[in-house]
Structure 1
Amino acid sequence: MLLSMTGYGIAHRETDHYTATVEIKSLNSKTLDLSLRLPRFLQDRELEIRNLLAKSLIRGKVNLNFEVSRTAGARAATIFNREALLTAFQEVKAIAQELGLHTGEDTLLAALRLPGVLAGPDQTAEPEVEITWEELLPLVHEALERINQFRRDEGHALTTEILGYIDHIRVALADVERHDPTRITQVRQRLQSHLGELAATENFNASRFEQEVLYYIEKLDIAEEKVRLINHLHYFTETVYLPEPTGKKLAFISQEIGREINTIGSKANDSTIQHLVVGMKEELEKIKEQINNIL
């Protein structure tokens, strides 16, 4: 089944000490293009995270955002020296009034900066707990599983859509097959008419004419192209259901399908078949557009 390169996955965890979120987004790309945003304390894990993403996502323009923040209760509390703050505030306020300056919130902020006002960490507060990589790693795996599930769901929809286009090409090819005997009859009638005209001329060379007729018939014969095209369509359908990523292989098969369709159109020399060929080309273009989003 096909996998889409477009995807989104997020994993979130909240504890008494921290909250952590891993968010992964992926878009179309011919190669794997990774962009990571990590907390400072996880910088030494960048290579490991890159390897995880490369192994799981394989291809695409991938952005990972890893956010970790401590909860308010986990931060070391800071308490005020109330008497020192009141004294400092009154002193700053008095100086401001003497200078004719406005007193307000800025006065309080200035007082807070004075030595001895902030008493330092509250020794009764819960000590800060270390956040280990081992407890955060499952979040990365969870986000990867969710983005891959997103890719599978999108790929299922793409599979149905693309195989629908393939079926449309099959139907058009069947119409070509049904019309081909009529085309051959018309070609034969034109040749017989020209043969009558040429036989009446004095310089008519029967041997030379026979060679030209054989060349003309061979040039207009599309039997091999029809066989190759139906084989390519079967191969395309089989490839869609392979377990491994098939985007690049499907792109190559699409090129071969296009080559056979173009050859049928150029050799047929028939307006009805030309119209059918145009329809097949339209369906093939839709396939190529969707293949750009296939892993």
Structure 2
Amino acid sequence: MKGVLLAAGGASLWGGSGAAAQYLFSRTDINTNWLAAMRLLLAGALLLLWSTYKAPHQVRALATNKKNIFYLVMFAVFGMLNSQISYFLAVKYSNAPTATVIQYLQPVIIIVWLAIAERHWPSRLDNISVVVALIGTFYLVTGGHLNTLTLTPRAILWGVWCAVAAALYTLLPRPLLEHFDALAVCGFAMLLAGVCIIPELFIHPVPHLDLLGWLLIAYIIVGGTMFSYTMFLQSMRYISPAVTGILSAFEPLVATLLAVTLLGTRLTVAAVFGSVLILLTTVIQAIPMDRIPGLHHLTKKEPWN
């Protein structure tokens, strides 16, 4: 129960940050890059301070080894920074529910990438996931009609790139996560990514916000980043990665509920249907089919001839 609450709570905090960002982009003059810089710098610093307190030897090892630094820089620029900015831009040009759901296309991108990199055909389960995700994307983007688009080309572009960035975010830190605590790796990467775009804090003026606006920024940094990362990663101590992956669906669920009830976002039946199919991809990938009698053949991968 503790693991379930931590995973669901962390994913919910993530989803809430998407709705908070949608409010800021639609009702204030805040710049996306300025907000990304604030989030990365402050959340990264907080996570790194916490990691230094909990495991100082790991932080020291990450900061003093050239190979580790190389992996950190790659993860920070192409994973962390890329995913943060593309997600905010996807929210800005569409809405929090749509951006969050499209981000969940990342399993499909990872399936294709690993098939090419490891030179094997996707398993039957992976093929099912790809087909389900593509059908869901079709309904989300077109509303079920071939001659119309329910999203602008800019929203589609940043949404798809957000999914690509999320895939890079998942793949790039794998060599580091085999040896180091995830909080230390994420804290370092966030801080490095924030340093890369420090000029954005000076290029763009400080936004004119009321108290609610500043509270939402504080929530995005502390609740939607630091606490969400900490809770979600801590949940893996108590429950399996498969259950954690399924519970990550709370992120788009909370983003949708907040956007619809508080921000007046309207979703069509086709958009909801497409969103459910895309999220179903994550559930399919999270279920350990290889451990279920009679279904293990679904996960078998054949090498290229």
Q: Name the TM-score, length of structure 1 as normaliser.
A: 0.25
Higher relative contact order (CA 8 A, sep 6+): 2
Higher strand share: 1
Larger Cα-atom Rg: 1
Q: Which has the larger share of helix?
A: 2
